[in-house]
Amino acid sequence: MHLDDPQTAQEPLPRAGEGQIFLGTAGAPPLGEGAEQLLHVYRLNELELSDLGLDELLDELLDRTREILNADTVAILLLDDERHELVARAAKGLEEEVRRGVRVPLGGGFAGRIAAERTPIYIAEVARADIVNPILREKGLRSMLGVPLIVEGRAIGVLHVGTLAHREFTNEDAALLQLVAARAAPAIERARVAEAFEREHLGAVALQRSLLPEGTPAVAGVEIATQYLPARDLVGGDWYDVIELPRGRVGIAIGDVAGHGVQAAALMGQLRTGLRAYALEGHAPGETLKRVDRLMHTIRGQGMATAAYAVVEPESGALRYASAGHLPPLLVTASGGARLLDVQPAPPLGTLPYGMYVDVETELQPGDTIVLYTDGLIERRTEAITAGLERLREAADISTSAFVLCQHLVERLVEEGAGQDDVAIVALRSLPLGPKMRVRLPASPNVLAHVRRLLRRWLHAHGATPAEVASLTLAAGEACANAVEHAYAPRPATFELEASHSDGLVTVIVRDGGRWREPRGEHRGRGLSMIAAVVDEVDVRTSDAGTEVVMRKRLGV
């Protein structure tokens, strides 16, 4: 038999304090009647213990220790390195110790001295000993034996047993308990490290989740899809955002904070909020990034982040974007070809004072998709980034919805068993437009702006001038407002807008399930006259099925 820590085991120990008897463990304890107990100890197989989580491991260990030493109580206290205290972590017969979260200062009392001096201590009579923890007395413990848990010469905690009756713990008892401690300590340390890691990881994942948007807003004329794949082991600082802006415009943002873990996730949350706030103030993409950069310089312990921000005006297809050292946006055209968009080179956020971020302007045609993404999508350890970008361009060579495109890119580019880095994607597709547009919407005042935006976008694509767009939008808006106003409860009502174009003549039809009625009141009966004044021809057809308002206007007159 040997003991893992010869120092503790063999040095004769000094007496200290009345009622305490220090046990030396020099010399091999006789086997004899202890042989069966030793067998138990050897069954504390490290391999067997290594598969357990910390709680299960400690539970198992306490049961076996109590059995081996034939004790009434057994407890494990683990060292809190930061506070230099031992914390009761698991106990049998002394459960209150754990429940109350008993803490013993390193060097103080029974357990504190065992850990500080890395030595076993035997207390023959608790009543007469220097005890910090009141629970030991409350429980009526008479005799106690404790040993340090030692890993690589460092005490990580204390294992102690106690009896309600007076007991003379023998040298063999002490040796046995030390043997248990020596076997258990490395397994405890491993489980503790794994648990701490898991806790940090889960905390960071939860934090990151809470900092990313929940769902995407419905914006007229575009389809927006997002994808976020957390890294398997380390939490990254990737983020994305979709920001509804005034007048039907929409902003999409992506970013990547350098580093991993809770700090990266927390910084990501600050940057996302900052970017959103500046975007909502109406700043252009480059100006927005500039302000986020300045904000970042004021954050204590700031790091570095790349980001890209793009603003789309669905009605005209105008696209404006800027990048702060981020990978170039990808444009997937309506016909299916894909290319990387030019970016004005600029430093990542938080790196240089006076970073400037310049806007690039282009247009998104109906059916085109712009994709912002983080490097987790394309980077592989062994290859240059240009190869990754080329693979992205090839993989994106399909004409499909933004949602399917996101799925497709992940399937094609994120390797099985990858997950070293997190992946964020946000894709915005300008919806394809045909010669005819037909939409059915719930009869609610809140959808009126949405339907006007769809119509403006469709008219713009069909070559209507701004004045023609304004007239037809006003006429259709009046007809839709009427449909909404006369949608009666209780049945959920909808209305329909249909727009078609042939040979320069635009026809807009609004259908509902009610009857046309001019609103009451002196100044309110002007919806129909308003329509008549701005289009060439208006026809209100009423049937039992409902009302149909047909409006026609010739373009380019």
Interface with another protein, residue 530, by CB under 8 A? yes
* Three-state DSSP class for residue 94: coil
Asked if 239 contacts 271 with a C-beta cutoff of 8 angstroms, the reply is: yes
Interface with another protein, residue 533, by CB under 8 A? yes
Interface with another protein, residue 527, by CB under 8 A? yes
CB of 446 to another protein, least distance (A): 6
How many C-beta atoms lie closer than 10 Å to residue 69's C-beta?
A: 22
Interface with another protein, residue 510, by CB under 8 A? no
Q: Between 326 and 486, whose beta carbon lies closer to another protein? A: 486
Per CB under 8 A, the list member of 215, 386, 523, 544 interacting with another protein is 523
State the pairing for strand pair 436-442/494-502.
antiparallel
Tokens (6 digits) for 38: 């030793």
Beta-carbon contacts of 478 under 8 Å, excluding residues fewer than 6 positions away, are 527, 528, 530, 531
Interface with another protein, residue 246, by CB under 8 A? yes
Bond before 134 cis per omega within 30 degrees:
no
CB of 529 to another protein, least distance (A): 7
- By CB under 8 A, how many residues form the interface with another protein? 31
Distance CA(178)–CA(147), nearest Å, equals 6
Distance CA(41)–CA(183), nearest Å, equals 8
Distance CA(398)–CA(334), nearest Å, equals 9
Q: Between 47 and 467, whose beta carbon lies closer to another protein? A: 467
Per CB under 8 A, the list member of 28, 449, 505, 545 interacting with another protein is 449
Task: State the DSSP H helix or E strand holding residue 409, giving kind and residue range, or none if neither.
Answer: helix 402-413
Site map 470..489 versus another protein, x via CB under 8 A: xx-xx--xx--x--xx----
Stretch that binds another protein, among 28-36, 144-152, 468-476, 548-556 (CB under 8 A): 468-476
Asked if 311 contacts 288 with a C-beta cutoff of 8 angstroms, the reply is: no
Interface with another protein, residue 526, by CB under 8 A? yes
Distance CA(500)–CA(348), nearest Å, equals 47
Per CB under 8 A, the list member of 2, 15, 247, 491 interacting with another protein is 247
Interface with another protein, residue 318, by CB under 8 A? no
Interface with another protein, residue 440, by CB under 8 A? no
Q: Between 165 and 467, whose beta carbon lies closer to another protein? A: 467
CB of 449 to another protein, least distance (A): 5
Q: Between 164 and 245, whose beta carbon lies closer to another protein? A: 245
Q: Between 53 and 525, whose beta carbon lies closer to another protein? A: 525
Per CB under 8 A, the list member of 100, 137, 524, 554 interacting with another protein is 524
* Three-state DSSP class for residue 151: strand
Distance CA(419)–CA(258), nearest Å, equals 16
Q: What is the DSSP letter of 375?
A: G
How many C-beta atoms lie closer than 10 Å to residue 442's C-beta?
A: 12
* 3-class DSSP string for 160-200: EEEECCCCCCCHHHHHHHHHHHHHHHHHHHHHHHHHHHHHH
How many C-beta atoms lie closer than 10 Å to residue 427's C-beta?
A: 25
CB of 479 to another protein, least distance (A): 10
CB of 246 to another protein, least distance (A): 6
Q: Between 126 and 447, whose beta carbon lies closer to another protein? A: 447
Q: Between 232 and 554, whose beta carbon lies closer to another protein? A: 554
Strands laid side by side in the 423-430 sheet: 222-229, 423-430, 369-373, 330-332, 338-340
Q: Between 244 and 390, whose beta carbon lies closer to another protein? A: 244
CB of 217 to another protein, least distance (A): 8
Distance CA(74)–CA(267), nearest Å, equals 44
Interface with another protein, residue 557, by CB under 8 A? no
Interface with another protein, residue 277, by CB under 8 A? no
Interface with another protein, residue 445, by CB under 8 A? yes
Per CB under 8 A, the list member of 452, 460, 486, 511 interacting with another protein is 452
φ/ψ bin of 379: left (φ > 0), alpha (ψ from -120 to 50), beta (otherwise) = beta
Q: Between 208 and 471, whose beta carbon lies closer to another protein? A: 471
Interface with another protein, residue 353, by CB under 8 A? no
Distance CA(508)–CA(472), nearest Å, equals 8
Per CB under 8 A, the list member of 335, 529, 539, 554 interacting with another protein is 529
Asked if 553 contacts 506 with a C-beta cutoff of 8 angstroms, the reply is: yes
Please classify residue 310 by burial: count the beta carbons closer than 10 Å to its beta carbon, then call 0-12 exposed, 13-18 middle and 19+ buried.
buried
Stretch that binds another protein, among 27-35, 120-128, 155-163, 443-451 (CB under 8 A): 443-451
Q: Between 88 and 531, whose beta carbon lies closer to another protein? A: 531
Q: Between 248 and 303, whose beta carbon lies closer to another protein? A: 248
- Residues in contact with another protein by CB under 8 A are 244-247, 445-446, 448-449, 452, 466-467, 470-471, 473-474, 477-478, 481, 484-485, 519, 521-524, 526-527, 529-530, 533-534
